[in-house]
C-alpha cells in the first residue's frame, strides 16, 4: 500500500478502524488512534505511546498527519487571539479564539474557524471576500484548527477546552458542506473533543439550495444566516448572493428549515452607519421576520481597513435594538471582540499583518 492521501485527522473512528483492518491491524488500534488524535491532541505518531515503534512507522508511511503550522499569533487588548495558520500546500487561513465572562481560569471559549481559503461570495464589507476563492478546506484541515489551537493553549492551561465552535471564519461554509459536516461530526464525537452539537454554529450568506440540504441532515447545530439588510435593494448593494437568492426565497427556505428541524434560526445583522440603521429598516426587518422562530444578532460593524463602512454611534445602536424588541423580535447586540487586531467579523484576510 503506497503513501495515502488520507489525513488521519479527517477520519471518522469507523473509517480509521476499517483502514487499520486493511493494514492487517486489530480494530481496537483504530479506536486508540482516534483517541490519541482527537481527544489527547497529540501532534505526532511517536507520541502514541501504546503503539509499537513498528506500528508507528507503518502508520506514518500510510496516513498523513500534518499539524497546521502556526505562522503568527496576535493578542487583542480584550484577550481575543487571532492565529495565522499555514496548510500543507503553503496556503494560509485564520482562526480566532474568543474568551467570554468569568475569571481568566473560568472563561468560556469560542473558536471561530475557517472552511475555505478565500471565499467566492464577494460580500462588500468582508476582507476575505476581497481575496477571491482559492480552495475548499478538507475535514482534516477544519478539525485541525481545533486540535492544534487546543494543543497550543494546553501548554499554558492544562484544563483548556473549546466550548463553542463557530464556522464563521474565512469562507462560505455551505459551499463546502460535506467536509464541514464531517468535521462537525468528528468534533462532536464522544471519544474526541465532545463539542456539544448545540454549541456549534454554522453561518451562511444565504445559499438557498444548501440550506435545504442542511435541513435534511438531521444535525442539531445552530444555523446563522447573514441578513444584513431588510430589503433586496440594500442587500444587493452589499451581498452579491442576493441577486441569485433574493430575500423572499431566502426567508422561505429559512421557514422550511425551521419547520423541518424544529430549530430556531439566527439572523446576523451587521449594523452600518447611515446604511441600514434607521427606523425605516426596523419596520422592514420586523415585517420580513414576522412569525419566524428566530434570534437576531445585531453586530455593529467593524471597519475593514480599506472599507467604506462605519460603525453607528452607541446611542443609535441602542435605539435600533430597542425598536426591534418593541416590534416583538428577539434581539441581542453581539459583543464585538478583537477589532484592534482585525479578528472581528469581516476582518479576516489571511495576511494578519
Ligand atoms: S462574509 Fe462570509 S460569505 Fe461573505 S465574502 Fe466574507 S467569508 Fe465569504
Contact 160, 193 (CB under 8 A): no
Nearest CA to ligand 1 atom 5: 129
Catalytic residue of the set 112, 126, 205, 345: 345
CATH architecture of 8-62: Orthogonal Bundle (1.10)
Please compute the mean of the pLDDT values over residues 133-143 and round it to a whole number. 98
> Percentage of the chain with pLDDT > 70?
91
Whole-angstrom Cα distance, residue 17 to residue 13? 6
Q: What is the pLDDT of residues 49-81, one digit of tens each?
A: 999 999 999 999 999 999 999 999 999 998 899
Distance in Å, CA 123 to ligand 1 centroid = 5
Contact 266, 289 (CB under 8 A): no
For ligand 1, whether the C-beta of 171 sits within 6 Å is yes
- C-beta pairs of 72-81 under 8 Å, 24+ apart in sequence: 72/352, 74/341, 74/343, 74/352, 75/341, 76/337, 76/338, 76/339, 76/340, 76/341, 76/343, 77/340, 78/337, 78/338, 78/340, 79/107, 80/337, 80/338, 80/341, 80/343, 81/338, 81/343
Distance in Å, CA 274 to ligand 1 centroid = 22
Please compute the mean of the pLDDT values over residues 207-212 and round it to a whole number. 98
Q: For residue 303, is pLDDT > 80?
A: no
Q: For residue 104, is pLDDT > 90?
A: no
Cα torsion 338, 339, 340, 343 to 10°: value is 60
Whole-angstrom Cα distance, residue 333 to residue 323? 13
Ordered by start, the domain boundaries in the chain are 8-62, 69-341
The pTM of the full predicted model, rounded to 2 decimals, is 0.94
**What is 69-341's CATH topology?**
TIM Barrel (3.20.20)
Q: Give me the pLDDT at residue 105, please.
A: 55
Q: For residue 274, is pLDDT > 60?
A: yes
Distance in Å, CA 129 to ligand 1 centroid = 5
Question: For residue 242, which of 232, 254, 228 has the smallest C-alpha distance?
Answer: 232
**Band of residue 353 on the pLDDT scale cut at 50, 70, 90:** very low
Q: Give me the pLDDT at residue 59, please.
A: 95
Amino acid at each position: 500500500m503506497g503513501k495515502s492521501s488520507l489525513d488521519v485527522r479527517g477520519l471518522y473512528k469507523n473509517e480509521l478502524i476499517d483502514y487499520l483492518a486493511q493494514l492487517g491491524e486489530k480494530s481496537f488500534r483504530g479506536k486508540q488512534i482516534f483517541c490519541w488524535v482527537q481527544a489527547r491532541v497529540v501532534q505526532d505518531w511517536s507520541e502514541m505511546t501504546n503503539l509499537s515503534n513498528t506500528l508507528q512507522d507503518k502508520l506514518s508511511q500510510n496516513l498523513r498527519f500534518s499539524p497546521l503550522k502556526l505562522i503568527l499569533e496576535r493578542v487583542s487588548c480584550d484577550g481575543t487571539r487571532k492565529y495565522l495558520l499555514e496548510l500543507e500546500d503553503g496556503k494560509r487561513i485564520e482562526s480566532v479564539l474568543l474568551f467570554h465572562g468569568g475569571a481568566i481560569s473560568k472563561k468560556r471559549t469560542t473558536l471561530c474557524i475557517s472552511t475555505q481559503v478565500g471565499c467566492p461570495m464577494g460580500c462588500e464589507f468582508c476582507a476575505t471576500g476581497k481575496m477571491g476563492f482559492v480552495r475548499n478546506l478538507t475535514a482534516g484541515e477544519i478539525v485541525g484548527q481545533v486540535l492544534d489551537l487546543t494543543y497550543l493553549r494546553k501548554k499554558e492551561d492544562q484544563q483548556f477546552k473549546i466550548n463553542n465552535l463557530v464556522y464563521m471564519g474565512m469562507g462560505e461554509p455551505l459551499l463546502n458542506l460535506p467536509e464541514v459536516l464531517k468535521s462537525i461530526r468528528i468534533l462532536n464525537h464522544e471519544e474526541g473533543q465532545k463539542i456539544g452539537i448545540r454549541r456549534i454554529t454554522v453561518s451562511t450568506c444565504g445559499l438557498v439550495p444548501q440550506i435545504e440540504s442542511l435541513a435534511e441532515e438531521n444535525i442539531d447545530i445552530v444555523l446563522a444566516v447573514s441578513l444584513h439588510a431588510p430589503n433586496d435593494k440594500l442587500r444587493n448593494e452589499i451581498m452579491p448572493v442576493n441577486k441569485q437568492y433574493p430575500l423572499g426565497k431566502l426567508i422561505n427556505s429559512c421557514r422550511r428549515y425551521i419547520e423541518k428541524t424544529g430549530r430556531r434560526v439566527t439572523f446576523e445583522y451587521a449594523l452600518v452607519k447611515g446604511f441600514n440603521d434607521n427606523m425605516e429598516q426596523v419596520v422592514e426587518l420586523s415585517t420580513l421576520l414576522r412569525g419566524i422562530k428566530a434570534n437576531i444578532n445585531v453586530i455593529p460593524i467593524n471597519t475593514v481597513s480599506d472599507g467604506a463602512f462605519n460603525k453607528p454611534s452607541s446611542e443609535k445602536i441602542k435605539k435600533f435594538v430597542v425598536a426591534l424588541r418593541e416590534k416583538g423580535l428577539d434581539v441581542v447586540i453581539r459583543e464585538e471582540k478583537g477589532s484592534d487586531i482585525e479578528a472581528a467579523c469581516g476582518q479576516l484576510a489571511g495576511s494578519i499583518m
